[in-house]
Amino acid sequence: MQAEEVKQIIERELDGCTVYTTGEGCDFQVTVVGELFAGLTPVKKQQIVYACLNELIASGAIHAVSIKTYTPEQWAAKQ
């Protein structure tokens, strides 16, 4: 699996989000930026992104994924 494939899956599931991915094989780092994260707890944010990848994790196509989530405002402040 390639990082671009992971990116496309998350973008398809989370409309309006910008996704940045790195990694290859079965180990990926994912950063997701979207308004939908506003006001959510860190755990809920992670759950939303994991839900997009559950089938791939269960099948072993993805073994490890590191997730960072930001609202657009948080992302702009980080840049």
Question: Residues 1-56: pLDDT tens digits?
Answer: 899 999 999 999 999 999 999 998 889 999 999 999 999 999 999 999 999 999 99
What pLDDT is attached to residue 45?
96
Helices 3-13 + 42-59 axis angle, to 10: 120
pTM of the model: 0.92
Domain residue ranges in the chain: 18-78
Q: Is a pLDDT exceeding 90 seen at residue 79? A: no
Beta strands across the sheet bearing 18-24: 18-24, 27-33, 64-70
> What CATH code would you report for 18-78?
3.30.300.90
Average pLDDT, the chain: 94
